[in-house]
Structure 1
C-alpha cells in the first residue's frame, strides 16, 4: 500500500527582515520541515527584501513575491501563487499576510490557518488607517478556518472586538528555544555588560515606549546603565531625552546586534516597556537566560507570562519579575531597584523555570496538529482543478 502524500502547505509572511514573528516563523519552518513525510512546506515572502535577518533551511522552496508592502498586490500575487501551487492548507503570520491568504483562498476550498501575533485592538487603536484596518480584519478574519492567537488576551480581543467565533480560535504560545538561546548566551558579548545594567530590546517606535525605560532609569536608586538594543525612527528623540535627564553617559544605544543573548545573559534586569504586545518574545528570551524582568501590564502577554495581575496596584511581583502599570515610570523605577538588589537570584531562578514552560517541541506539535486538522476538516470540499492561466 503506497504511503499517503504529505500535506502541501504554503507558509506566508511579509518578509524575514527581522522581528519576533519572523523568528518564530523561521523556527516553525525549520522544525516542521524535519518530517517532510507529514508536511511539504513552500514559503511565500510577500516582499522581496534585499536583506533578511533569518535564514530558512536549505531545500525549502521559497516564492519571493514583490508586493512592495501593498495589500492589493499582496492579495493578487498570493492568489496567483495559490492557483499555481494548489496547497492543501496555508499558514500565515502578520496582518497583511493573513488578509492576503484568506482572500486568496476564497473559492478554492483550501483552509486558511492564520497566526495573530499582536493584540489587534490595541495595535490598531490609532493611526491614519486604523479604522479601515479594523474594518478589513472584521470582514476577513472570521472566515479563516482557524486563528492561532499567541496569548489568551489576543484570543479574547479577536472574539469580543472582531466577531470571531470562539471555536475558530486556539492559543499557542510562542516557542522558546531555551537550549539554542543558552548556546548563544555562552558566547562573548559584543561589548562589556555588568549585573548592574538594564537591557531593553525592540524597534524604536512609539508602541515600544522606550522612553519609559529612560525616565525610569533617572528615578531608580541604582548606578547601572541602560542598554537599548534595536533601531528605529525614534533613535534621535530618545537620545535627546537621555541627554535632557543627564543620562547621556548611562544610556547606550547599541542598535541591532547579531547575538543579543550574550548581552542579556550578563545583564542584571530586562525591561519591557510596550504599550501593546501579542506575546513578548524578547521578554521570554531574557527570562530563558535567567534575567528577571520588569514589564508593563500591556495587552497582551506580560501578565500571563508572569502569572500575576495588578488589580489596581501600580506594581505586583510574579513568576520571574514584576508587572507595572503602563507608562508608570515611578513604578518601573521602584521595581528596577528591587530586582537588581538582594532578591535578584530568587527572581532569576523563577524566570528560568517559567521560560521552560514554553518549549519549542510543544508549540511545534500543536502547529502541526492545527494544520493537519484544518486540512482534514476541509477534505472533500475542494472544487475540481481549474486550469492555470499564465
Structure 2
C-alpha cells in the first residue's frame, strides 16, 4: 500500500497595525482572503483590535462583547482600551489572527517597550514559523524587519503611501537605510515611489498596484445619461485629503450650476472645520438628503459602490497619495474623475489627462480650487466630454482586475519562497 503523502500548506503571515477601515487595511484583507482561497495558510498579525474593522468572510476569530465568555482573550484597541476576542470562535481552520500590543503589565520605560515589542514579534514569528512575512506601512515595516533579523524567514515590506511621508522623521529614515537592505522585497505602488530609495533598496522594489475591490467589479455601470447631477468625494476627512479645495471650487461652480450637489463620504478630524466652511459659504445641506446646490456630509458608510454609482463626477484633492483606491474605484464605475497630480504619482499612473480624466497640477489651495472649478465647468457645459472620459476610465477594470493583480502577488511571493 502506497504511503500517504501530506503536502504542507505554505504559510503567509500578514502584519499591520489593525484592520481598521482604511485603504491599506482593505488591501491586506483582500490579499488574506485571496491567498486563503487558493490554499495557503494565512495568519493576520495585528497590534490592535480596532472598533471599526473590516469583516473577513473566512476569519477564524470572533470579537466578543465582554470577558464573560470562557474563550475570551484580552486584547487592546488603538486607544489601548481592553477588548475581547475568541481566537477560535470563527471559521474552523480559517484565517488566523494574533495580537502583538504590549499589555499594561508588560510595559516599562520607552526603551524597554521598544525592545519588548521587538521580542514579542520575534517570539510570534518563531511560534508561527511562516514561509514569508508581509508587512504594511511605516513603523510596522521597520518592526517586522528588526524582529526577523535573527530568523530565516523572508520579509516583504510594503510602502503604501508616499515614502517621504511614511518615513518622514530622521529616525525612520535611518531605519530604512539600515533595515530595508535585509528585506526579501520592497513593494511600492507607483514607479515614482521607487525614487525615494537608494540603488541598493531600489533593486529590491517591485511595483504592485492595488486591485479594484470586488464590490466595484461586480457592480453594473450606470449609463451616463441616467446619472444624477452629483459630484462625489470619498476618503478620510483630514488635512492630507484636503477636501476644503473641492468645497471652495464647488461654492463657485453652483452659482451657475445650482442643480448639482456635492456629497462627501468619509469621516475624520477635519469634519467640523469642513462643515463650518460650508456654513460660511452658505452651501451646507443641513437636511442630510442631498439638496441641490449644497454639500452633504455622508459620513463613513458601507457599500460605497451603491452610493456613488449614479454620480457623474468624482474629485480627489489629496496632497499626497500612493495608489488611491477611491480613484480607481470611481473610474471602475465610469465616473468622470478629476484628481490632483499629487506625489508619488498614483493619480498620474491612472489618469491620462484629458482622455480618461482630468489631472490638476499641484499648486496653492486657491489655485487648485480655481482649476477644479474650471474643470467642473467644462464637464457640466459639455456632457459629451464627460461621457467620453467616464467611458475611457472603465479600462481600469482590465488593468487593475483583482484576478490579474492577485496573480502578480502570488507569482512574486512564490519567487521569494
Name the TM-score class by shorter chain.
0.7 to 0.9
Distance 1:257 1:108 in 2: 42
Q: Which residue is 2:288 aligned to?
A: none
> Whose radius of gyration is greater, 1 or 2?
2
Kindly state the Cα deviation for residue 108 of structure 1 after the two structures are TM-superposed. Answer: 0.5
Deviation per CA, 1:58-99: give whole Å up to 9, x if none: 41111133358x983653322220121122210111223212
Q: Whose relative contact order is higher, 1 or 2, with alpha carbons under 8 Å and at least 6 apart?
A: 1
CA RMSD, Structure 1 to Structure 2 (Å): 2.4
Unaligned runs of 5+ in 2: 60-93, 104-109, 286-293
SS in 2 for 1:92: strand
> Quick one: distance in 1 between partners of 2:278 and 2:317?
16
1:241 matches 2:281 = no
Match of 1:372?
A: 414
Q: Distance in 2 between matches of 1:134 and 1:337?
A: 43
Kindly provide the CA deviation profile for residues 3-40 of structure 1, in whole angstroms up to 9, marking residues without a partner as x: 5422222111111111111111111111111122xx32
More divergent stretch after superposition (194-203 vs 23-32): 194-203
1:306 maps to what in 2?
Answer: 351
- Contact in 1 for aligned 2:215/2:305 (Cα 8 Å): no
Contact kept? 2:33, 2:56, Cα under 8 Å: no
Deviation at 1:56, TM superposition (A): 5.1
CA offsets per residue over residues 241-265 of structure 1, 9 Å max, x none?
A: 1122222231111110112111211
Please name the residue that 2:369 is paired with. 329
Counterpart of 1:356 in structure 2 is: 398
> Are the aligned partners of 1:123 and 1:276 in contact in 2 as well (CA < 8 Å)?
no
What CA distance in whole angstroms lies between the structure 2 residues aligned with 1:94 and 1:285? Answer: 22
Q: Structure 1: give runs of 5+ residues left out of the alignment.
A: 188-192, 308-315, 376-390
DSSP-derived class of the 2:52 partner: coil
- Alignment: residue pair count: 350
Task: For 1:29-68, list aligned pairs within 5 A.
Answer: 29-36=32-39, 39-55=40-56, 57-58=58-59, 59-67=94-102
In structure 2, how many angstroms separate the alpha carbons of the residues matched to 1:358 and 1:199?
Answer: 22
Matches within 5 A, 1:68-79: 72=114, 74-79=117-122
4+ long deviations beyond 6 Å: none
Comparing 113-122 and 46-55, the one that deviates more:
46-55
What CA deviation, in whole Å up to 9, does each residue of 1:217-252 have, x standing for no partner?
A: 123243311111111111111111112222223111
TM-score (norm 1): 0.83
Residues of 2 paired with 1:74 and 1:33: CA distance? 28
8 Å CA contact 1:75–1:104 kept in 2: the answer is: yes
SS at match of 1:197: strand
1:317 matched to 2:354: yes
Q: TM-score, normalised by structure 2?
A: 0.78
Q: What residue number does 2:20 align with?
A: 17
Does the 8 A contact of 1:185 with 1:262 survive in 2? no
Residue 121 of structure 1 pairs with residue 164 of structure 2: yes
Give distance in 2, aligned partners of 1:113 and 1:56.
25
Match of 1:137 in 2: 176
